[in-house]
Amino acid sequence: MKKVQWFWISVLGSVILRFILFYSSKNLNLSSRPEIATPLTSLRRLAEGYWLKQSSMSPYSGSMYHGSPLLLTLLGPLTVTRIEGQPDHLLCGFVFVIADVICAMLIRATGETLQAAYSSRLKLLGLHHLSQNSGEVLPSGDLAALVYLWNPFTIVACIGLSTSAIENLMVVLSLYGACKRLAPLAAFGWVMATHLSLYPAILLIPVILLFGYGLDAPPRKLFLQRKKFEVDNSSSSDNNRLEEGVRNQLSMLNVFSWKSVSHFLFWTLLWSSYVLVLCSIYLRQHGGLQELFKRTYGFILTIPDLSPNIGVFWYFFAEVFDFFRNFFLIVFHGNILLMMVPLALRLNHRPCFLAFVYIVISSMLKSYPSVGDSALYLGLLGLFAYELRDMQFSFFLISGYVGASLLSPVMHNLWIWRGTGNANFYFGTAITYACFQIILVVESVSAMLNHDRMLKKLSTAKLVKT
């Protein structure tokens, strides 16, 4: 009861902090920072697109806006609303605060579902003493939600009025729907996340695995091993009972449910058609869907805007010869696709953790990254705090993220405003930031695989002892 009370106090504190910063950080111009606002997440660009639409022109005609027409419908009217005595865009800020809170609650609910399912799977293996349900451990869902709400990246993205909060909400909604086996909800979240940012399309694999195999569990061969042992060593009187019980358990863990997947795919097709119809109606006088794909997905894939950000694409493509540009575009975008299948084969029994790894990789290799992307995967990292408690270089990673976050605005100021530095100063922090994300992926995957090996040893030792 005490932990629940402290959790809600912390949630309320994070909301109050956001509103205080909305009033006190007006002169910081966070909405113009390249680490926060990108050509795809900037509210100022969205306001420009909405103004063009209100002027009976295409929202993409000014080469400023490259987001979804649906965001124009949702947030566009709020960008022109003024309340006397209030900071500009306060209503938009309120929407982003609500989006952060809802996202945190969905992360918490996802964590509770994962924890309950994982504890039951451990009990099947006779490893109930490893369960997280003891009162001494903070539930992973609560931890992940608080990490997301109090993460400085999440806070500055919210205060900087970055639309990444909406994108993160859609991604988490998709994962939550998949964990709860709610096909319409999961499909809606995945379709909207892909529509807004394109890169969440790779989450189709872990979502399908969640519907097909179920939630994260120890390696499936451990259950097969335990079934064989129990059936072989059971007496004739209770042999049938044991076989039937184990068979029911394996039907849930080891059989791929094509029915659930087909249900999800049906709703995905339905929501995709609905979104495309809405977009075509909104842009029917301004080029329709062809203009939408060219100005949004085409913009993401061809990277025409080389303004500085915390990614690595802008500097490289500013230096590369035009003759090689298309080749390196294929190489850079192909890096994400090349890692999808090997990771899916190795981590197919942990689809939620696989989704986390995919999100980190896409955040690192996307065309226009922002700190809002990092806020999402750092929050999801809390869901696996128990399994990753032995992860190495944790302090080194935390220090690296803090250092890169502090150095980035300093180097940008030296380069752009003071003129005492150059692009290499700022790009150096971007490279450092990318390196720490690589370390996070490698170490988290390694720690998870080590955890699986530990479960295998304990399960085998228990069977031998029995």
- The answer to whether 215 and 118 are in contact (CB under 8 A) is yes
What are 351-383's pLDDT values in tens digits?
999 999 999 999 999 999 999 999 999 999 999
Residue 144 tokens read as 């992940």
What are 271-328's pLDDT values in tens digits?
999 999 999 988 888 778 888 898 999 999 999 988 888 988 888 888 888 888 889 8
Match 């302090």 to its residue by tokens: 395
Instruction: Report how far residue 63's alpha carbon sits from residue 52's, in angstroms, rounded to the nearest whole number.
Output: 11
Partnered with residue 162 across adjacent β-strands are: 42
CA distances (Å), origin 364, targets 111, 205, 259, 349, 433: 24, 19, 34, 24, 9
C-beta neighbour count of 140 within 10 angstroms: 23
pLDDT digits (tens), the chain, 466 positions: 566 778 888 999 999 999 888 887 766 778 888 889 899 998 888 988 888 888 888 888 877 888 889 888 888 888 875 544 444 567 778 889 999 999 999 999 999 898 888 887 777 766 666 665 544 456 888 899 999 999 999 999 999 889 999 999 999 999 999 999 999 999 999 999 999 989 999 999 999 999 988 887 777 677 666 666 555 555 544 445 545 555 555 555 667 788 889 999 999 999 999 999 999 988 888 778 888 898 999 999 999 988 888 988 888 888 888 888 889 899 888 888 888 999 999 998 899 999 999 999 999 999 999 999 999 999 999 999 888 888 888 889 999 999 988 998 889 888 888 877 788 888 989 999 999 999 999 999 999 999 888 888 877 776 666 5
- The answer to whether 214 and 250 are in contact (CB under 8 A) is no
Residue type, 420: T
- The answer to whether 357 and 343 are in contact (CB under 8 A) is yes
Residue of 72, 13, 32 lying closest to 295 (CA atoms): 72
Residue type, 450: N
Residue type, 178: A
Residue of 279, 93, 88, 317 lying closest to 191 (CA atoms): 279
| 268 HSE (CA, 13 A, CB side) | 21
Cα Rg for the chain, rounded, in angstroms? 24
- The answer to whether 315 and 430 are in contact (CB under 8 A) is yes
Q: What count of residues does the chain have? A: 466
24-42 in b/e form (b: 16+ CB < 10 A) is eeeeeebbebbbbbbbbbb
CA distances (Å), origin 266, targets 50, 187, 245, 270, 351: 33, 9, 33, 6, 20
Residue of 301, 345, 335 lying closest to 437 (CA atoms): 335
- The answer to whether 246 and 230 are in contact (CB under 8 A) is yes
- The answer to whether 181 and 395 are in contact (CB under 8 A) is no
List the chain domain ranges.
Answer: 2-465
Report yes or no on whether pTM surpasses 0.85: yes
330-353 in b/e form (b: 16+ CB < 10 A) is eebbeebeebbeebbeebbbbbbb
396 in helix, strand or coil? helix
DSSP string, 93-107: HHHHHHHHHHHHHHH
